[in-house]
Amino acid sequence: RPEHPWGRWKFRATLLVLAFLNMIAAFLVEHVVVESAWLKRASHFVLNKKEPKNKFKIINKDMLADLEWPPNNQHNWRDYQAFSSSLS
């Protein structure tokens, strides 16, 4: 039985269309779903996460909340030496 001349091309075109649709779906998931703030809030609500668990994030949050950080009075090395010598 002879093969239809368009059969092979139709299969290849279907594969190309499926690959293109996969690329579009991956792009949408990457840029719309993953980076959405509402999804992050929803996952934190479901997991009952109120505070950060990473030590760096906890310290960073405390530093951002402290309005006097960083200190305005910058100490130099001589001030540190005088202070450390006064302790001993």
User: Residue 3 pLDDT > 90, yes or no?
Assistant: no
Output the pLDDT for position 53.
Answer: 83
Domain ranges for the chain, please list them. Answer: 5-87
The pTM of this model reads 0.42
CB 64 within 8 A of CB 73: no
Tokens of 84: 């450390």
pLDDT tens digits, residue range 28-63?
A: 988 888 777 888 888 888 888 888 888 888 888 888
Residue type, 39: L
Q: How confident is the model at residue 24 (pLDDT cuts 50, 70, 90)?
A: very high
CB 52 within 8 A of CB 58: yes
